[in-house]
Amino acid sequence: MKRIKKIRVALFTDVLKENLDGVTYTLYNIIERIPRDKFEFLFITPCPPSENVKLPYPVIVCRYIKMPLYGDYPLAFPYCDKKLKKALEEFKPDLIHFTTPAFLGRYARNYAIKNNKPLVSTYHTHFPNYVDYYFKFLPFLKFLGHLVPLILRYYYNVCDTVYVPTKPVLEDLAGIGIERRRMTIWARGIDTSKFNPRKRDDKYIDRLCGKDTIRILFVSRLYWVKEITTIVNIYTKLSRTHPNMKMVITGDGPQRKYMEKRMPGAVFTGKVLHDDLPRLYASCDIFLFPSITETFGNVNLEAMASGLPVVAAAKGGPLGIIREGETGFLVDPKNIDKFCDRLSRLIDNPVLLKKMSRNAIDYARTQKWDNLCRDMFASFERIISDRKKKAEEVNEAAV
């Protein structure tokens, strides 16, 4: 029986440490579903998994620089890395995949071009929104914003495929010059056996928030870019009109102390992992997510799968997954009055809250990781096959 040659994929990612952020959440769901009879993977990263996590694929830790302000995120610096060069020579990849348009992504891009290999990328961070967010505080650097489209075109307009999570984000990228023919929508999935309303635990949430309270949940790293001041202002206003409201802040980060000082009645859980996180989602009532820099926002899908309507900023990723008036509400970014109005509407109308909860669950059940990953791996096969056909056509034409 003829042995099938496996497709070899070299995946360059700036983070591979488990449970760190949305990038690793997506990557680990992909890794779990790699068809091992068809594919071999090599991972290149400056931030490997913990020692207790054993991946069934080799991981090359490339050179990196420690970044004092980004403790969990070393900056990859793969140049002149003999170990990396040797690993790629031995692995002989058929396809190159990168996750971030930084030094490591540049190395992957140039390697693919130099060796005439197909190049793909998953789009995780919506840099145009980050630029808009930060440059309003640093107007003297606003001219640098013009460089972002140039940089993104440099990376993505040489890719065979860019996997973009939602249509609004795809349209944003097309608007700055990323070629539409190179982009395809590849969403994010949810494990509904893990995140679902059956995980609700009334005793647990009563201990956390007190009885007879309405629980509004926020889950994220606590950084300014997640709209921390908007959350604080929503809390301050809503607390005056709804004394039975209890806001639950899940996550950690440098702005936690700032929030705790200004939200004295809120519950701060810190980072919650494993079985406790689905239980927390399902035990709350409404999900709040005012961040305006999201490419997708996996937490929104986790909340919906758990039965929580979402009240989110109408910008970026949430625009592509929240159905206005059905699974939640989309609100003008930073508009405290409108956020409070939509939250109040759900708090004051249990019938509407229950209806949106059912709609959210129904939507989440359609978002399956198995289907998404099967589509991605099938696209890898098509991309490689198309490349081979084009090469054969060129050779035939030359003859």
Confidence of residue 390 (pLDDT cuts 50, 70, 90): confident
Average pLDDT over residues 283-311: 95
Measure the CA–CA gap between 124 and 331, rounded to whole angstroms: 23
Say yes or no to pLDDT of 285 above 70: yes
Q: What is the pLDDT of residue 137?
A: 58
Q: How high is the pLDDT of residue 116? A: 95
Q: Is the pLDDT of residue 138 over 70?
A: no
- Sheet with 328-331, side-by-side order of all strands: 267-270, 245-250, 214-219, 286-289, 310-313, 328-331
* pTM of the complete model: 0.86
100-106 mean pLDDT: 95
- What are residue 249's DSSP bridge partners? 218, 268
User: Does pLDDT of 302 surpass 90?
Assistant: yes
The pLDDT-based confidence of 243 (bands split at 50, 70, 90) is: very high
SS3 (DSSP) at 269: strand
Q: What is the mean pLDDT of residues 41-54?
A: 93
| pLDDT at 54 (0 to 100) | 87
Indicate the residue type of 184: T
Q: What whole-number distance in Å separates Cα of residue 319 and Cα of residue 330?
A: 7
pLDDT at 305: 98
**Structural domain boundaries of the chain?**
7-189+368-398, 197-364
Average pLDDT over residues 365-377: 96
The CATH number of domain 7-189+368-398, selected from 1.10.3210.10, 3.40.50.2000, 3.40.710.10, 3.30.70.270: 3.40.50.2000
Record: fold of 197-364: Rossmann fold (3.40.50)
Closest alpha carbon to 170 in 319, 323, 312: 319
The confidence band for 126, taking pLDDT boundaries of 50, 70 and 90, is confident
| pLDDT value, residue 115 | 97
pLDDT at 263: 98
**Continuous H helices in 215-349:** 228-241, 256-262, 276-283, 298-305, 318-321, 336-348
51 pLDDT band, cuts 50/70/90, is: confident
Of 42, 59, 41, the residue nearest 50 (C-alpha): 59
Mean pLDDT of 120-138: 75
Instruction: Give 307-345 pLDDT, tens digit per residue.
Output: 999 999 998 889 989 999 999 999 999 999 999 999 999
Which segment of 18-27, 40-49, 95-104, 111-120 scores lowest on mean pLDDT?
Answer: 18-27
Q: Which position has the higher pLDDT, 66 or 239?
A: 239
Beta-sheet pairing, 267-270 with 286-289: unpaired
The CA distances from residue 223 to 53, 220, 281, 292, 293, in Å, are: 27, 8, 21, 13, 12
Mean pLDDT of the chain: 92
Alpha-carbon gap, residue 328 to 311, rounded angstroms:
6
Given a cut of 90, whether residue 111 has pLDDT beyond it is yes
pLDDT over 80 (residue 71): no
Using the predicted structure, report yes or no on whether residue 397 has a pLDDT greater than 80: no
Rounded distance between C-alpha atoms, residue 236 and residue 259, angstroms: 11
> For residue 75, what pLDDT band results from cuts at 50, 70 and 90?
confident
197-364 matches 7-189+368-398 in CATH topology: yes
- Which one-letter amino acid corresponds to residue 228? I
Split at pLDDT 50, 70, 90, the class of 2 is low
